[in-house]
Structures are given as C-alpha cells and as structure tokens.
Amino acid sequence: MWLKNHNKFVFLTWMGYLIYIHYRHFHPNKSKQALTILALAFVVLLVYWFGVNYLPVANNSVHTYTE
C-alpha cells in the first residue's frame, strides 16, 4: 500500500487547503468558487477527524485521537 489511511487523509486535507490558497491568490475576484473549495477542504478535514477513529484498522493504530 502506497500510503496508510492516516497519511492519505492528511495528504488530501493539505491538498484541499493548498488548492484553496492558490486559487484565492490567482483568482482574487472569484470568492464564491474559492469558498466552495474551502468548504470541500473542510469536509475532507471533518471526514478525516471523525472518520479515522472509526476505520476498521484504527483499533490498533497510533494515529487515533481517542484513548
């Protein structure tokens, strides 16, 4: 497996916010599209934050946020 589940979600979260920052920099007048990108990046973050604890492989993982 190329990346573990934790690293995939971290990568997707970073990419979402980097796409937002670059889009906002190169298209300063298109705020509606930028906010859509930001909302999607936030949804990815929420899926990661809440979903990583409920994945089947999370039982023995050190990357969970609950004890």
CB-based contact 10:63 (threshold 8 Å): no
At 1 the pLDDT is 46
Rounded-to-integer distance, Cα 12 and Cα 27, Å: 22
Other beta carbons within 10 angstroms of residue 24's beta carbon come to 16
Q: Which helix (H) or strand (E) holds 9?
A: helix 5-26
Q: Please state, rounded to an integer, the average pLDDT across all residues of the chain.
A: 79
Q: What is the mean pLDDT of residues 25-47?
A: 90
Output the pTM of the full model.
Answer: 0.68
Q: What is the mean pLDDT of residues 40-53?
A: 81
Residues contacting residue 16 through CB under 8 Å, at least 6 positions apart: 37, 40, 41, 44, 45
